[in-house]
Structures are given as structure tokens and as C-alpha cells.
Amino acid sequence: MPTFVKRLLFAVLVIAALFALNAMLSTQGLFGFGLDDYYGRLLTFIGINVILAVSLNLINGFTGQFSIGHAGFMAIGAYASAYMTVYHAPGWELALAGMVGADAAHVLIFVLAIFIGGLATALAGLVVGIPSLRLRGDYLAIVTLGFAEIIRIVILNIDKVGGATGLTVPGYTNFVWVGVFAVITIVIVHNIVRSDIGRALVSIREDELAAEAMGINTTRYKVLSFVISSAFAGIAGVLFAHYNKFLSTADFTFLRSFEIIIMIVLGGMGSITGAILGAAVITILPEALRQLPTVGLFGQEFNFADLRLVIYAALLIVIMLTRPQGVLGTREFGMNWLRRAQKRPEGDEAVGADTGVSIAERDTTPTADPVEEVKNK
Amino acid sequence: MDTFVQQLINGLTIGSIYALIALGYTMVYGILRLINFAHGDIYMVGAFAGFFIAHGLGFAAEPSLVGFAITLLGSMLVAALIGMAIERFAYRPVRKYARMTTLITAIGVSLLLENLGVVIFGGAPRSFPQLLQNQNYTLFGNAAISKSQILIFSVSIALMLLLQWIIYRTKVGTAMRAVSFNLNSAKLMGINTNLIIAFTFALGSALAAAGGVLTAQYNPQIYPLMGIITGLKAFVAAVLGGIGNIPGAVLGGLLIGAAETFVVGYGQSVGIPSTYRDAVAFSILILVLLFRPAGLLGSTVQEKV
């Protein structure tokens, strides 16, 4: 079969699967199989988190630039699009409905909203990225965090978008929208990573000085990766806003950025499938912990569900202690995963697991990456 | 003029608290290159330890200087022990891994402390007892300084001088500097690096706890999530001064405290609402880092090829 037929078939399959899932989430169900609203919500949030994690992985995992400002960009996308859908969309939709019909108008308006959200965020990413990406490591991290908090506080002070009281937003998002954009994000990031741009990004992660010496315009590529990453965060914000139907700046604090970082570190920095896995696990985990039973211990009733956040934090520490490179490391999970894993030369997984400046005691670990070891000598 | 002096006093009061917490961030970073996100929560733990000590030993009912001193030292001791435990059981096992891993571990510890705090102490704020009779002293004009402010200044200056003495005049301080300069060389010179790192955590945590008890004397509301924003700003202060640099942390803390208070005090007249208070620290940080990428007092390290 020619490649493009395979791809076409795959795309059709994905879209069919999304619509099937969406039908299962609706009130009628699909051929009698229905899923609870609760699961619909969970699946939608997984989708949104997949977009966030995969896009953040582009800048953090593949380019090796430590950004913790994703929540800020998400907020820009959410608020920019909400401004449009709250103040302008009803009129435009009515006008469009006369021309192409109500359903098509509804879809077109939301496409426009997503476009506006993505564009606004890409611009913000450019404005933030150009000055910040001159900094490295922890300094870059704290500056991106700072920008995200400033964005949040500025939005908090704009009364037109609700300010501190929040903003009610029309609901446009359903599971198909989220699924389609999650797939688009994955495909685009995957293609970028496989392209010459991706090679340049990975070379910046591995050794910025060497990359520069090889003639790579590191600033240009870092900013490019930052802008693309922000744009997708913005799109995730648009989808989130129009699914949640209510926007408050409390949803975009730095804790949200931390959560996305946890997803990609958990799944494995520099692995797209790892980011997807991390997004799913981190979305489901707090919900799953809600189901914990009440147990009588030492003559007292312990409600473990009340302790779910404590357990969540403890689990996070335990995972980092036992699986420090994330579940997948930099590998990708796929059909030929086992075959490739066997063929890997020794020590290959470790490349990229150690990003940044050498840390204390690294030299003493016998399993350290051979490349790094040579460098340290 | 009076309001200016008043604002300056208030700003420096908050600033000295930020400075005390920033010292812990900067010391740990200097030694391990680790952003210890749980440090802000140690400040919270210190405040709660002080709360229980003051109530348990009856100092809450009878304000006295001795009671205050015991509460302060007790909470510093508790925090130091908790800081060492965190280092031993969470950070030491991941020390050899990539920095992202240690960072996520730090975030995990921070979440753990916050959520444990909510479970154990409850989410509602508690009122910290007044350990000294409060009193206002008029300086000149209308500017006044309260007893708790004097207390904050004097205790934090004393602690900073003590820290300076420990780091530059004692054997353990020399070892700390050696470890932060190069951990492996320090180890080769026979320094017990694990012990020194544990000591650094103890020292930093004790300072944060002191910050917690002092803040509680000035603003008696304590709650399990109080460390998030304060910790973040103290971290910003540490980066602003040049992370890893001890005088820089103090300078950064005082600067951010003062700037914040001035924005609240004077912002209205130039069109900046006081709600921008929390953005001030970050704005200053970004501006400074754009021109001095290693912070105010930090030195840039030349990268080796």
C-alpha cells in the first residue's frame, strides 16, 4: 500500500474513533453503549492535557529549554478566544448562519476562536521568548514562571474579561474538537521532531555550544520552538475555556504549569508517547484516588479519599525515586518498540536524560552516560 | 515624607522576612544546584510549630520575651529537623539523577507538606498568639514603628550576622563553601559532604521557620498554604540578588519587600492598582535579569567548551 493511502486510512480511522467516542458520551449513546458524563469530562481533560504536555515537551524535552510558563500561555489563549466568543461571536454566528446554515456557522466560529487564541498566544510566546531565551537553565525557568504570573495578574485586572469575578463563556468544545486537536498536536510535534528543525532542536538540547559551532542559529530555533509550543498551549486554553464554560484566573496559576511539567517528566522528557502517557496518568490519578475506601485502622476510621492529595504527592516522590528518567525515558512507545529497544546500543537511553549543567555527584554514578563521562574528564 | 518613611519601614519589614527565606533557597542552590520548592512550606511548618509551642507551653496567655525566644528557637529546631529529614529521604536518593527529577521531587515534597498541612491543621486560617505586648513608637512626624517590626528587624539582622559568622568564621562554614565550590573535590579533601548538605538544609530551614514565627507576630493569620506565594517571592528575591550568593539574597529580599510596599502605597497615584502587588516582584526580576543575567550580585560563570 502506498504511504499516503496508509496515512489517509489512519486519519479516517482516528476521526471515526473520535466520533464514535463522542457518540458514546452523548445522551443517546452509540448502539446502546453509553458512557457516563463523568468519563466524558475525564476524557476531555485528558485530551486537553495531552495537547499541553506534548507541546511543552517540544520546548522542555526536545529543545532542553526549561520553561515553566505554560499556564500563562494557556490563559492567553483562553481569554483571547473567550473575548471573541462572548462579545462578538453571537452576532457573527447569526450573520453566518444565514449564509451557510446554523451548524456550519457554529463550527466556523469556533475554528475562528481557536485560530485567534492560537495566534494571540503565538505572538505572546514571541514577545516573551525573544528576551527570555537568552537566559539559561534555572534563570530561564524562573523568568518564564514570572511572565506567566504577570500575565495572570494582568488578566485579573481587566474588567472586560471578568477580572476577579470570572467570565461565563459559551460552550463550544466537545470531545471531537479536543480529540482532533490532540491528534493534530501530536502529528505536528512528531513531524517537527523528525524534520531538520527537530534535529537542530535536539542538538541544542544536547550541547548548545556545539550546535552553535555547527552553524545552527540557536536563538532562532529556540524562539521558534517556544512560539510553536506556546501556540498549542493557547489552543488548549481555548478548548478548556469553551468546555469549562467558566473562566477564572485561578485555573492558570503556576501550579498548573507544574502539573504539566510533572506530566512530561513522569512520562519521560523528550518522548511524545511518554507525554501522552503522563497526561493520562496525571489526569486520572487524582480522580482514581477519590475512590479510595474508608478503612478502620487502630480503632479509628481513616477516610483515604480525604487523603488523596497527600497520597498523590507521596506517589509523585516515590515515582521519582524509583523511576527517575520517567516511565519511557526518551524512547517512544510503539509497534516496533520491543524490537528497537533490543537493538539499542548500550547507554543510548541516557542521552538527553541528563540535560543542563552537571549536577553534584554525577561522576560517581557508574551508570552515567558515556558521552558525559568523557566530557567530565 | 512621613508616609515615605512609613512605607519604607513596612517594606523593609516584609523584605527582611523575604530575605530570611531567600537565604535558605540560595544556600541549598549554592550547594546542590537544586531549587528547593518545598522551602516556602518549611516556612509554613515553622509558623505552625511556633503556634503549637506557644500554646503548649502557655506563652500565648502571657506575653513575655522569654516565651517569644523559646517559641522562636523551638520552631527553628523543629523546622531544622524536618528540613534534614526531607533532604535525607527525598533529595539524597535523587541527587545523582538529572535536574528535572530532583526538581519534580522538590515539587512533590512541597505538595506533600501543603496537603499534609491541610489534613492535619485544617484549611482555615488560625490566629497566631501575640507573644509580646505590641506597642507603637512614633519616630518623627506621623511615621511609627511597632514593637513587632523592631523585633523582626533585630532578630533577622542577628540571624544574618550569625549566618555570616557560621559561613566565614567556622570550620563547618568553610566546608560548606568548599562543597558549594566543588562537591567532588570537597569529598576528596575528606569533607563529609552528606553531613554538610544536611547541615545546610537544617540551617536554611531554621531561618525559614524564624521567618514564619516573625511574620506571624506581624500578621497573625497562619494557614497551610501560606508558604506558596511567600516562598515564591523569596525565591525570586534569591534569584534577583544572584542565586547562590548570600548577601545577594538579603539585598534581593529587601528590594522586593520595599518595592511591593511602594506599589501598594503609591501605585494608585500613578495608575497602578494595588492588585498588581504580586506582579511587582516578577517584573523587577525580569527587568534585572535582562540586563544582568546572573542577578544583581551574582557572577557569570564562563562556559567551558
**What is the pLDDT averaged over residues B169-182?**
92
CB neighbour class for B166 (10 Å; exposed up to 12, middle 13-18, buried from 19): middle
Q: How many CA atoms lie within 13 A of A92 on its CB side?
A: 16
Q: What is the 3-state secondary structure (H, E, C) of A186-221?
A: HHHHHHHHHCHHHHHHHHHHHCHHHHHHCCCCHHHH
CATH topology of domain A45-291+304-357: ABC transporter involved in vitamin B12 uptake, BtuC (1.10.3470)
Amino acid at B205: S
Does residue B284 contact residue B30 with C-beta atoms inside 8 Å? no
Residue A290 is predicted with a pLDDT of: 82
CB atoms closer than 10 angstroms to residue A216: 17
Residue B250 has phi, psi (to 5 degrees) of: -65, -45
- Counting as low any pLDDT under 70, the low residues of chain A are 1, 26-35, 296-302, 330, 334-377
Residue A201 is predicted with a pLDDT of: 94
Q: Is B222 helix (H, G, I), strand (E, B) or coil?
A: strand
CATH topology of domain B2-127+144-291: ABC transporter involved in vitamin B12 uptake, BtuC (1.10.3470)
Judging contacts by C-beta atoms under 8 Å, the chain A residues touching residue B100 are: 66, 261, 265, 269, 355-356
**What is the pLDDT averaged over residues B9-34?**
92
DSSP 3-state percent helix, strand, coil across chain B (nearest 5): 75, 5, 20
Does residue A269 contact residue B103 with C-beta atoms inside 8 Å? no
Does residue B217 contact residue B131 with C-beta atoms inside 8 Å? yes
DSSP 3-state percent helix, strand, coil across chain A (nearest 5): 70, 5, 25
Judging contacts by C-beta atoms under 8 Å, the chain A residues touching residue B181 are: none
Is the Cβ of B229 closer than 8 Å to some Cβ of chain A?
no
Of B97, B111, B183, nearest to A316 by CB-CB distance is B111
Separation of alpha carbons A267 and A282, rounded Å: 10
Is the Cβ of B259 closer than 8 Å to some Cβ of chain A?
no
Most confident residue range from A123-127, A176-180, B99-103, B150-154: A123-127
Of B102, B273, B293, nearest to A134 by CB-CB distance is B293
Question: Minimal Cα–Cα distance from B246 to chain A, Å?
Answer: 17
Please state the separation of Cα A227 from the chain's center in Å. Answer: 14
Separation of alpha carbons B122 and B52, rounded Å: 14
Separation of alpha carbons B253 and B7, rounded Å: 16
CB atoms closer than 10 angstroms to residue A350: 18
pLDDT digits (tens, 9 = 90+) for A58-79: 999 899 898 999 999 999 999 9
Is the Cβ of B99 closer than 8 Å to some Cβ of chain A?
yes
Select the more confidently predicted residue: A50 or B139. Answer: A50
Q: Where are the beta strands (DSSP E) in chain B?
A: 126-127, 136-140, 143-146, 221-222
Is the Cβ of A5 closer than 8 Å to some Cβ of chain B?
no
Provide the β-strand partners of residue B140.
B143
Separation of alpha carbons B42 and B110, rounded Å: 9
Task: Tell me what ipTM this predicted complex has.
Answer: 0.87
Select the more confidently predicted residue: B305 or B237. Answer: B237
Spatial neighbors of A257 by CB under 8 A, at least 6 apart, are A68, A69, A70, A71, A72, A145, A148
Question: Minimal Cα–Cα distance from B199 to chain A, Å?
Answer: 16
Of B29, B112, B278, nearest to A310 by CB-CB distance is B112
pLDDT of B270 > 80? The answer is no
Which 52-91 residues of chain B touch chain A by CB within 8 A?
Answer: 90
Residue A279 is predicted with a pLDDT of: 93
**Cβ contact A146–B96 (<8 Å):** no
Q: Which helix (H) or strand (E) holds B104?
A: helix B99-121
Separation of alpha carbons A56 and A62, rounded Å: 9
C-alpha cell at B11: 517594606
Separation of alpha carbons A325 and A332, rounded Å: 13
Q: Is B294 helix (H, G, I), strand (E, B) or coil?
A: coil
CB atoms closer than 10 angstroms to residue B254: 22
Amino acid at A179: G
Is the Cβ of A286 closer than 8 Å to some Cβ of chain B?
no
Amino acid at B115: N
**Cβ contact B293–A141 (<8 Å):** no
Separation of alpha carbons B292 and B300, rounded Å: 9
Provide the β-strand partners of residue A30.
A33
**Sign of the dihedral through C-alpha A212, A214, A217, A223:** negative
Separation of alpha carbons A321 and A87, rounded Å: 49
Residue A344 has phi, psi (to 5 degrees) of: -50, 135
Spatial neighbors of B100 by CB under 8 A, at least 6 apart, are A66, A261, A265, A269, A355, A356
Does residue B50 contact residue B71 with C-beta atoms inside 8 Å? yes
Amino acid at A47: G
**Cβ contact A143–B286 (<8 Å):** yes
- Mutation site, B28, B31, B107, interface A, largest A CB count within 10 A: B107
Spatial neighbors of B228 by CB under 8 A, at least 6 apart, are B40, B41, B114
Residue A176 is predicted with a pLDDT of: 85
Separation of alpha carbons B105 and B90, rounded Å: 7
Q: Helices (H), strands (E): how many in chain A?
A: 15, 4
Does residue A35 contact residue A25 with C-beta atoms inside 8 Å? yes
Does residue B231 contact residue B40 with C-beta atoms inside 8 Å? yes
Amino acid at B195: L
- Give alpha helix (H) positions in A207-271: 208-213, 218-244, 254-267
pLDDT digits (tens, 9 = 90+) for B23-38: 999 999 988 888 899 9
pLDDT of B244 > 90? The answer is no
Nearest alpha-carbon partner for A235 in A372, A371, A70: A70
Residue A364 is predicted with a pLDDT of: 42
What does the domain layout of chain B look like in residue ranges? 2-127+144-291
- Give alpha helix (H) positions in B37-98: 39-56, 65-86, 92-94
Task: Tell me the average pLDDT of chain A.
Answer: 82
Does residue A240 contact residue A74 with C-beta atoms inside 8 Å? yes
Please state the separation of Cα B248 from the chain's center in Å. Answer: 13
Does residue A264 contact residue A61 with C-beta atoms inside 8 Å? yes
Residue A360 is predicted with a pLDDT of: 43
Residue A377 is predicted with a pLDDT of: 44
Residue A343 is predicted with a pLDDT of: 53
Judging contacts by C-beta atoms under 8 Å, the chain B residues touching residue A150 are: 279, 282-283, 286
Separation of alpha carbons A222 and A355, rounded Å: 15
Nearest alpha-carbon partner for B83 in B109, B108, B102: B109
Residue B116 has phi, psi (to 5 degrees) of: -60, -40
**Cβ contact B278–A153 (<8 Å):** yes
Residue A210 is predicted with a pLDDT of: 92
